[in-house]
Structure 1
Amino acid sequence: MWKSHPKALPYLFLSEMWERFGYYLMIGIFTLYLKDVEAGYAMTEKEASDLYGTFIALVFLTPFIGGLIADRYFGYKKSIIIGGIMMGAGYMMMGIHDIRMLYVAMTLVIIGNGFFKPNISTLLGNFYNDEQYKDKKDEGYNIFYMGINVGAFICNFFGAAFKILFGWKYAFMAAGVGMFIGVVVFLLGTKHYGDKTEKKGVQPGDMPFYKIVLFILLPSVVFGIIGWLLKGVQSDANPDCAIFGSDSTDAFIFACLPVIFFYGSLYFKAKTEDKRPIGALLAIFGVVILFWAVFKLNGSALNNWGDKYTDRELTGTAQQIGSKLILVDTLTYKKDSVALYDEAFRIQKEDGKVVKTVDYPLYFRNVHQEKLPEEGSKVFTWSANLSQSINPGWVIILTPLVVAFFTYLRSRRKEPSTPTKIAFGLLISALSVLVMVAAVHIGNNGSEKVSVWWLVANYGVITIGELFLSPMGLSVVSKLSPKNITSLMMGGWFLSTSIGNKMSGVLASLWDTYDNKANFFWVNFVLLMFATLLMFALLKQLNKVMKEKGIN
């Protein structure tokens, strides 16, 4: 597999694998930790989803500035190392149970990812710009993408084991150690990078950095503050008067406006030969926002589905294996209604007054009556965060098949263009949502638990869509971007991911407002079908631009 690719690929593959090990370990336990009434922060589903959405949105917003700094000043190697160290420190600090420390840790991860994520993807693309590797670029990004998902698959087993054995703190520390291993692996590959990690410097016509600070970053901060302070119309559904559902969402959306304006200005100020490629990329960025809005529900709504609505009970051999691997939670069934109510709705009091009611249903609340255990008996369940390994597991299985499929089509000169792959990726992703609609009906709208195979099937279908879209997105940015702003345009791809991530948090925070949970998934289906139709409408023009550039 490696022989026909650049020698740097294995090091970038392993470095990204360990970086994603840390990130997805943290993401897999993040909302579960926030909602834990014993050792976490006892947040409601809405509170946890809102914070999760804001966090992952900002994680993918900072690559905009991180890519720009790498392009002009730091170069890719220094940026990747700085970012990795910051993220590793942030993961470790998350386990310190203090809300202020949690926000500091999140800030380190947000800034660190800005330096790491766009630049390692851009560095990979630099090797495939050489003539001997040019026709292998899509395949190279697919292999790289598999590395991401190897890390994402194995991390949740470590997260479950460390959480069960030692508690949340040590699970977060394991994420930090994974990140630091990724930095070390990256450094070991230095001799294979050559001049590919060098900065491109400020090019003629580039906006000076002080102008970016004055006209983009500073306005983003100001707009974010305005968004936080602005209030909409108060109602029962919107008691806080937030315009878009919460103050953090308002602040994020307003803060994005100057950045979106900046990317629009790149098109209008571009050289004639660069105008159409930049326009094509901006169109793709806009469409894939809706894909990320639905896909990133894996860490919120679908994580919640795996926790509360999926039958996780283990018996016999499965329970013995799970116990030996330290992946099993032990629950004791209490039939007493008072105990159930106390655990389900933990009430926090100050001076005898109720200040917060936390909706935290027990595992047994939607177990069918016939399947309830005897009073006081123990039930063994696999750890809820393990459902986060289903998607990357599918990626590992399906990536070789997808690569082989497109290699076969290429050999027969029938390989679709990169934009066409993205369009079909959106369509397949939309179909995956129908699996969850069926799961809701099988579970009588959440009143009974359903088999984990529904999650497996949902992730299986959306993973095919993901493999058609996500690595292809990285590839098309590398193909179409003007050379002097490649990392900046990679930051634009992650900006679209960021906006989609925030939309995902908003969608997940609405979960409890849907009496019929199937309607929640129908909304997701409509969003993805809209994106699919839009992409197919743009396809003719996008393919024309690709042909003009002499690429597929």
Structure 2
Amino acid sequence: MTVGTQKNPDFFDTKVLGHPAGLFVLFFTEMWERFSFYGMRVLLVNFLTMAIISYNPGWEWVPENATSLFGTYAMLLYITPILGGIIADKFTGYNWAVVIGSIIMTLGHASMSLETEASLFVGLGLLIVGTGFFKPNITSIISEMYKYLPNKKDGAFTIFYMGVNAGAFFGMLLCGYLAEKLGWAYGFGLAGVFMLLGTIQFWLAKPLFGSIGEVPKITLKEVEQPQEDIKKTNDKPNPFTTLDKILIAIASFIGLGYAINDPMSKIANIDMFAWAQLPSVSGQYVVVLFGLLVFLFLVISRILRYEGVLRDRMFAFIIFAFFTVLFWMSFEQGASSLIIFARDYVDRSLSGSAAIAFNVINTALTVIPLLIITYVLFLLGKRTFNKIPGSNITLAITFIGVWILTVWMLNRDWNTNSYEVSYKSIKTKVVENGKPKLTENGKQIYSYTPIYEDYKVKPSDLVVERKVNIAETFNFRLGEIIPIITKDNVNSTFGYLTPAKLKDTRLKAEQLDKKTSKVVMAEISDIKDKEVEITVSWFSILNSFFIIAFASFFSKWFDSKYNPSATVKYGLGLIVMGVGFGLLAWGSSGIQDGVKVSMVWLIFAYLFHTLGELCSSPIGLSYVSKLVPARMIALMFGMWYLAIAIGNKLAAVLGGEIENITQEYSLSTFFLIFTVVPTVFGLIIISLGKLVNKLMHGVK
């Protein structure tokens, strides 16, 4: 019997796939939390920026405002866990912190499903607070579980992170599908339902954990650093001075102030930093620049107070943190600009053999992992049903729900019909800077505005017939007149309005005092083969899929004799990600108004972004623990998450400029920015390899 089994006999007697059954309880708890988080994340910007009168009405915010709000939300998600971990350590314990966080997040999702401005802001606030309790503490439970079995910890976290990716995969897939096909409230609501069920199954599994997860008796201060490393690093105390504390307060106040002020100034036109306005620079950016200088002075002055090896290692840590900001600034375009790009600029319709091929791939992509996870659930139930029956029953209910939704989704896609519809449109010459806008071949470019049902045609209007395909589960007759309305913000994809939707659309236009309802009366001109319209959210699942597919390869590579240095890994991550954006810049170059990009470019972009993530993202936290002494781990983890938070905020702010840059220059130019910047900085950090290795003093 091992030390671990002596400490927790009941806990370690129930094993599944060679690991304690409790690990798989945490696996499913994290899976449902990630299901709800990523399910909501993939919807938010799409919902906020969707036209207020459309097939699936949103709020018609400009991308700049929508991504500003999302960026603040994403930023705070990486800051509140620092406080949540402290509260759990001192007061609640990990188990209660996870439950409290889960309940708060469930309320957040429920609030968002109401689709009012007040409920949206309340919901996001609850999700931020709930994540603060949940995120740091579920991993703390795993660490405590394997305290006496360190040789099994790597395998445990590998299994656990499979749950993270499985939850992200199914959350984005199902929440996104329901939201786009049935309505946003269904997507936001589904995220909350599974968050609640995940909470219940975790709480009912408490008898399995015993004392694990209660308020810890050993704090971080009691963790001993090896004596030889203390001698090597000259690790003398470096207490915070009064000036340090003042600078921390100033930098924190400015950082949080900016996070709140940015969306508030853009959405509500309330600017707390207007007093700092310069002729060509926003007041909040002047204040942020000052706060950044304060923060840099604080960090550098503290590092210079250390001696020798430790001081050098801390500088190496700061270099890694800087490039981490740059990485996430580009990578997190997947939650903002790439959502808008997939919706408005990518051709997501497949017909005939292409539709069949997609349905086959999508069925395998969905059903196979779901079968594997269901089998794990069966094994867990077999081992633990007598001890935690309620938890097992709750888990069974959640999976029955997922299977029902999955079968419904796949059946709907397999039975979607394709129709060609014709409608009247007004043809207009496109003029730019007072001159006709021409193609590369010198031909005039025209725009086409659908003739809505309540529009009165003028004698000067040039009316032409336009044809477009629609994908629907309804059966229409040739020659039938049906109401259709745009599904995106560029009037290029249309969907059928059921009688209920038609009534709601007309009513909304009347309530908003809009001049037109945007309803177009179209005629079924041809009945085609089967067709499938891929949802915007489907592309986001590719990241999770590619991680699962390639993670083992990268793990073996990094464990081999060909394992590259940390700077090379970071550099490759940035460069490979830049290649992904380069493909998007190439694919979208020279496209005309109304023309859409092949989805192949976006699929390959997600592939390269994921490969870049696998190069650089996993090594970050590892180097935090290697470069700093044990007594500083908590502070440095906080610094690391702060770097990620800043990267997320910058990603959203820059992503919100997609429409502005596209209108001023081109869509290709927007993606070219994210091609050049990561590539250049990737080459820079690779060139700094010798310097960084010297600063790390033997840390590998």
Quick check: 1:283 aligned with 2:319?
Answer: yes
> Any idea what the Cα deviations from partners look like across 1:184-204, whole Å, max 9, x if unmatched?
565537628847972626788
Change (3 A) 1:221 1:504: closer
Change (3 A) 1:153 1:532: same
Change (3 A) 1:214 1:466: closer
Counterpart selection for 2:690 from 521, 540, 550 = 540
Counterpart Cα distance in 1 of 2:215 and 2:629: 17
Structure holding more helix per residue: 1
Q: Secondary structure at the match of 2:605?
A: helix
Give the deviation of 1:158 after TM superposition. 1.3
Counterpart selection for 1:104 from 122, 128, 139 = 122
Aligned AA (1:41) = W
Give the deviation of 1:145 after TM superposition. 3.8
- Are the equivalent residues in 2 in contact too, given 1:424–1:468 (CA < 8 A)? yes
Between the two proteins, what is the percent identity of the paired residues?
A: 28
Counterpart selection for 1:497 from 644, 661, 669 = 644
Query: TM-score normalised to the size of structure 1?
Result: 0.77
Quick check: 1:228 aligned with 2:247?
Answer: no
Quick check: 1:303 aligned with 2:453?
Answer: no
Change (3 A) 1:277 1:102: same
> Any idea what the Cα deviations from partners look like across 1:197-225, whole Å, max 9, x if unmatched?
72626788776999699566446456776
Quick check: 1:29 aligned with 2:179?
Answer: no
Corresponding residue number in structure 2 for 1:335: 423
Corresponding residue number in structure 2 for 1:531: 681
Moved more, 8-17 or 251-260: 251-260
- Are the equivalent residues in 1 in contact too, given 2:315–2:695 (CA < 8 A)? no
Moved more, 54-63 or 26-35: 54-63
Corresponding residue number in structure 1 for 2:490: 361
Listed as ranges, the matches of 1:7-406 within 5 Å are 9-36=23-50, 37-38=52-53, 39-70=57-88, 76-121=94-139, 132-133=150-151, 137=154, 143-164=159-180, 166-184=182-200, 187=203, 188=205, 191=209, 194=212, 198=216, 200=219, 217-218=252-253, 220-221=255-256, 228-230=273-275, 232=277, 242=282, 267-268=303-304, 274-316=310-352, 318=355, 324-326=410-412, 335-337=423-425, 340=449, 360-364=489-493, 375-376=523-524, 381-406=533-558
Aligned AA (1:396) = I
Change (3 A) 1:277 1:64: farther
Give the deviation of 1:326 after TM superposition. 4.3
Give the deviation of 1:463 after TM superposition. 0.8
Give the deviation of 1:69 after TM superposition. 4.6
- Are the equivalent residues in 1 in contact too, given 2:35–2:170 (CA < 8 A)? yes
Q: Secondary structure at the match of 2:647?
A: helix
Rg larger in 1 or in 2? 2
Aligned AA (2:274) = L
Change (3 A) 1:534 1:393: same
Gaps of 5+ in 2: 1-14, 223-236, 262-270, 360-407, 427-447, 453-487, 495-520
Q: Secondary structure at the match of 1:431?
A: helix
Corresponding residue number in structure 2 for 1:352: none
Change (3 A) 1:219 1:155: closer
Query: TM-score normalised to the size of structure 2?
Result: 0.63
Higher relative contact order (CA 8 A, sep 6+): 1
Gaps of 5+ in 1: 236-240, 344-358, 366-372
Moved more, 394-403 or 537-546: 537-546
Change (3 A) 1:277 1:28: same
Corresponding residue number in structure 2 for 1:238: none
- Are the equivalent residues in 1 in contact too, given 2:574–2:682 (CA < 8 A)? yes
Counterpart Cα distance in 1 of 2:147 and 2:697: 17
Q: Secondary structure at the match of 1:335?
A: strand
Moved more, 528-537 or 392-401: 528-537
Aligned AA (1:361) = V
Counterpart Cα distance in 2 of 1:439 and 1:275: 46
Give the deviation of 1:487 after TM superposition. 3.7
Aligned AA (2:603) = V
Q: Secondary structure at the match of 1:361?
A: coil
Counterpart Cα distance in 1 of 2:160 and 2:307: 32
Listed as ranges, the matches of 1:387-536 within 5 Å are 387-407=539-559, 409=560, 413-441=561-589, 444=591, 447-512=594-659, 513-514=661-662, 515-536=665-686
- Are the equivalent residues in 2 in contact too, given 1:301–1:508 (CA < 8 A)? yes
Counterpart Cα distance in 1 of 2:81 and 2:419: 42
Give the deviation of 1:306 after TM superposition. 1.1
Moved more, 84-93 or 27-36: 84-93
Q: Secondary structure at the match of 1:363?
A: coil
Change (3 A) 1:445 1:294: farther
Q: Supply the RMSD in Å over aligned alpha carbons.
A: 4.3
Give the deviation of 1:99 after TM superposition. 0.9
Change (3 A) 1:471 1:129: farther
Aligned AA (2:649) = K
Give the deviation of 1:62 after TM superposition. 3.0
Change (3 A) 1:73 1:489: farther
Counterpart Cα distance in 2 of 1:131 and 1:274: 30
Aligned AA (2:273) = W
Q: Secondary structure at the match of 1:337?
A: strand
Aligned AA (1:172) = F
Change (3 A) 1:159 1:363: farther
Counterpart Cα distance in 2 of 1:383 and 1:256: 40
Give the deviation of 1:429 after TM superposition. 1.6
Give the deviation of 1:420 after TM superposition. 4.0
Structure holding more strand per residue: 2
Counterpart Cα distance in 2 of 1:13 and 1:380: 33
Moved more, 54-63 or 17-26: 54-63
Counterpart Cα distance in 2 of 1:5 and 1:126: 14
Q: Secondary structure at the match of 1:43?
A: coil
Change (3 A) 1:311 1:130: same
> Any idea what the Cα deviations from partners look like across 1:15-72, whole Å, max 9, x if unmatched?
3332221111111111111123143212123322332223222322333444455556
Aligned AA (1:360) = N
> Any idea what the Cα deviations from partners look like across 1:374-414, whole Å, max 9, x if unmatched?
8556985222222211211111211223223334x1xxx44
Change (3 A) 1:145 1:540: farther
Q: Secondary structure at the match of 2:423?
A: coil
